[in-house]
Structure 1
Amino acid sequence: MKNQYTADALRVSPGKSIFLFLCWWILSTVLASVIIGYIGTTTIGRMRWATLVQDIFMFIMPVVLTMLIVARQPMAFTGLGNRVTSRQVLWVILISILAIPAMNCLVAWNENIHFPQSMAGLESVLRGSEERARGFVDMLMGGDSVTDLLLGILIMGVLTGFAEELFFRGGLQPLLCKFMHDNHHAAIWATAVIFSAVHLQFFGFFPRVLMGAFFGYLFCWSGSLRLSVFAHALNNSLVVINFWLMNKGIAGGDINTLGSQGSTVHIILAVASAVATGAALYYFATKISQTSCGGK
């Protein structure tokens, strides 16, 4: 079966394909901005509709329009046509759970970065942007009913997970890989950096880069976008569920504090989490994966 690694996967050059992809993205983003401006974000309901428009126009539409033109087999090139195994899914769940304390530690470190006094103004602007983004997400996940939970999982978990993975791993990553002469690792990390930068949240930048790289390697190792979509949706859904449980007063504590408190116990937990996650990733790459990312 042809996939993104075949030599004749594109009808036009990688450079022209990326340029077309960028043009479609700019056009779709403008259209999304107009529609979202009309809908507004003053209520939770309107924010949910705005998120739906954003995911469809900014992330799904550019990939569909580009691949229909440049890819000989769009489903294969994006990895959507390739299946995953139940074993792969179970290992992704395990890795995601194992990584929680280590990722929390990295998140806490990134959030506590402080700029030199000469750059205090820039830090203030970036932290203000961070707070606005967090406020948007918190409002979107507001509510403590079962309907709120299900809508949160559907919109922020499933839809956003699918849309962002289709755009970054299904569209951008394979195009960059072909542009970089099949240097898979460079394409994965370049896409991860862009993925994090697009979120415009510096104080969450480094954890999001690692998360993006994880999704990218899952795509590369499995040959299927479905696995990275599942991993992304799982990660987002866990955030939604944790937030909902705290809203309900059911959760005794925030799972995001595991490994991030700075005490000896939390440090040991974070280190153990990092080691276990690394071992699980190595096992997945060498024993579970269906494809190889190549020597480059």
Structure 2
Amino acid sequence: MIEQRTIHGGASDQEANHPAKSLILLLLLAFSGAIVLGAISVFIGLLAMGISAGNLGDALSVSTGNVGFLKIVQAGSSIGMFVLPALLLGIAEKRRHTYLDFKTSVNPSLWFMVVAIMFFAAPIFEQAIKLNEQMRLPGALSEIENWMKAKEAEQERLTNLLLSDTTYSGLLTSLIVVAVIAAVGEEFLFRGCVQGILTRWFKSPHTAIWITAIIFSAIHLQFYGFLPRMLLGALFGYLLFWGKSIWLPVLAHFINNATATIAAFYLKRQGKSLDELDFSQQVPNYLYFMSFVLTVVLLYQYHKIATQQTTRSYGKTLD
């Protein structure tokens, strides 16, 4: 990431700019945004779907909830928790740091390389999912494991409900909520803000990328998908670190979510469950090796092109 503009002053300036304060401010903004926008989206959802306030509990239930209502609430909550806090932090600290630099130029070939990377890396993430699903905790931690399984099942029911509409209008709204808003919001917050703050804190972009990826995965509370989501987060982090534009990881995130949403949509239309969204048994083992090699080659080329672009734009690499 292009390093944030920093006021170089005395000790008092250094203390005022401590990354911990930026992180606390971001957390407060995210917490406040989630509450305020969540409440507003519930009100809008009740009006739009014609649901009485007395039936709010049923409408929010992951087993009997109203799909349209839940999508409205999900969209509002995501904007409040991810999009607005990132934008507001950028405004609040614009004189000291730049978290979301929308003016960074991007070599056109990088857009195509992001698409190719996400395509060829898919089998790697599929294997990571399989590996993570084999995770078992010691017997002494059985209560924790049961809680993790319960949270996983709850998230799975919510996903099934959100993607249960098999109309094309339902697909469009699902893409807006699950792919567009999630990709923009989570990348703005995690890669744009959290990764930027931690880079200042640890003075190491690589440390910041991996810690952000861990936080990004953990916050989803889907522990049996922790490994692949962490790897995805790290990939998104490096796409930003090398490419310098927040829109590059946003595109990658969108492709990941949109692909899963569309695949789930067509499975649902065929009367199949999301559990059948598994291609691992149809992929020969040698293709996993090819997937790994091609992904590494593409990432190397991405880094090379992005570095050349940075050198031309700024006279030096900013890695």
TM-score by length of 2: 0.81
- 2:89 equivalent in structure 1: 66
- 1:100 equivalent in structure 2: 122
- Percent identity between matched residues is 28
1:143 aligned to 2:165?
A: yes
Shift of 1:166: 0.6
* 1:223-262 pair list within 5 angstroms: 223-249=244-270, 256-258=277-279, 260-261=280-281
* 1:151-166 pair list within 5 angstroms: 151-166=173-188
Change in Cα spacing, 1:254 to 1:25, as seen in structure 2 (3 Å) is closer
Alignment counterpart, residue 294 of structure 2, candidates 276, 282, 288? 276
- Asked whether the equivalents of residues 217 and 229 of structure 2 are also in contact (C-alpha less than 8 Å), the reply is yes
Which range moves more in the overlay, 144-153 or 285-294?
285-294
CA distance in structure 1 between the aligned counterparts of 2:271 and 2:305, rounded to whole angstroms: 39
Shift of 1:46: 0.8
Count of residue pairs brought into register by the alignment: 287
- 1:13 equivalent in structure 2: 18
What is the CA deviation profile of residues 88-143 of structure 1, one whole-angstrom value per residue up to 9, with x for unaligned ones?
A: 11101111110111110110110121222222222121111111101111211112
Alignment counterpart, residue 211 of structure 1, candidates 222, 228, 232? 232
Structure 2's unaligned 5+ residue stretches are 46-58, 311-316
Shift of 1:60: 1.4
* 1:193-208 pair list within 5 angstroms: 193-208=214-229
Q: What RMSD over aligned residues (CA atoms) do the two structures have, in Å?
A: 2.7
What is the CA deviation profile of residues 208-256 of structure 1, one whole-angstrom value per residue up to 9, with x for unaligned ones?
A: 11100111111111111011111111111001111111122299x9895
Structure 1 or 2, whichever has the larger Rg, is 2
CA distance in structure 1 between the aligned counterparts of 2:163 and 2:126, rounded to whole angstroms: 20
- Asked whether the equivalents of residues 5 and 96 of structure 2 are also in contact (C-alpha less than 8 Å), the reply is no
Which range moves more in the overlay, 223-232 or 21-30?
21-30
Residue identity in the other structure for 2:216: F
TM-score by length of 1: 0.87
- Asked whether the equivalents of residues 82 and 188 of structure 2 are also in contact (C-alpha less than 8 Å), the reply is yes
Matched residue of 1:4: which SS? coil
Structure 1's unaligned 5+ residue stretches are none
Alignment counterpart, residue 112 of structure 1, candidates 134, 137, 142? 134
